[in-house]
Amino acid sequence: MESVDDLHRIRSEEADLERQLEEVRAKRIALEKRGRPRSGEGGRPLRDLVLDLLQDAGGPLNSLLLASVIRPLQGREIPATRFGTLSNDEAKSYDSSRARPVYLCHCLTHDQGQAVKRFWARSDWNLADRVMGPMSGRMMFLQGAAWTINLARLVEAGELIAEKPDVLQYVAADQARDAGLSVRRGEFPYESWLEAIAGAIDRHFEEDLALRQAAAVDLASRLSDRELLFGSRKGLVSLPGSTPSWRSAIDER
């Protein structure tokens, strides 16, 4: 009887281990799909990558940050000029008969509805989420910094795969430093950085949101559908937060 009981126990343990193995394998596959491009997928269109990253970030991102994150996350170098080409391609696609379910578009200035150069959004977002008020450039920078830092945190926790995780760590540290946080060489206190940035965002979030919502109502009444995606005919504008030399400080005294 004892040997029969042992056999049943071993079979039960074996079944449990097989279930655990399947769960681990499924998690590994999911991580690989989310983080690292599969063999033969290195040429995935940039627009698809940008759309996915915007969806993950939940808010607008600028070209400089996108290129900085794509490099360690996907192992791809994106020339700055490629984003300009991407912008033109999206507008041309919209003007053609090839309708797309979602377009890459620019943020819009709150008063004139001009497209903001280098700041990207998705056409399926609410208009208010694509409008930039006087404080929005700073808010979007901080939100992008928090998103980048959280990506590095997820990689360190084994919840996301990056081609160059060590490089992503330093990209996150650069974002924390640019946000005015204390950064020490070789130390990556992600939780502390995220908490500090969240506090900075909270200071002006409601005020910024109210202005953007009011501006969205006004712009929607004045601009065509195309202009609401690609900006009014006044041309593109550049705002702080999209060049390497721009810095933000959390201490607002």
Q: Which two tokens stand for residue 116?
A: 């903001």
Task: Check residue 138 and give its pLDDT.
Answer: 93
> 235 vs 10, 28, 217, 223, 227, CA distance in Å?
72, 46, 21, 14, 11
Q: What angle is formed at CA 148 by the lines to CA 146 and CA 123, rounded to 5 degrees? A: 90
Nearest Cα to Cα of residue 250 among 190, 194, 184, 201: 201
Report which DSSP code applies to 29.
Answer: H
- Kindly state the average pLDDT of the residues 137-143: 95
Amino acid 246: pLDDT: 35
Q: How many CA atoms lie within 13 A of 180 on its CB side?
A: 14
Predicted TM-score (pTM) of the model is 0.76
Does residue 39 surpass a pLDDT of 60?
A: no
Tell me the β-bridge partners of 106: 120
pLDDT digits (tens, 9 = 90+) for 176-193: 999 999 888 889 999 999
Given the DSSP bridges, would you call strands 104-109 and 61-62 parallel, antiparallel or unpaired? unpaired
Over range 143-156, report the average pLDDT.
97
Confidence of residue 120 (pLDDT cuts 50, 70, 90): very high
Rounded Cα distance between 46 and 48, Å, is: 5
Angstrom distances, CA of residue 162 to CA of 5, 104, 152, 153, 166 = 46, 24, 9, 11, 9
Q: How many CB atoms lie within 10 A of CB 169?
A: 20
Check pLDDT > 60 for residue 1: no
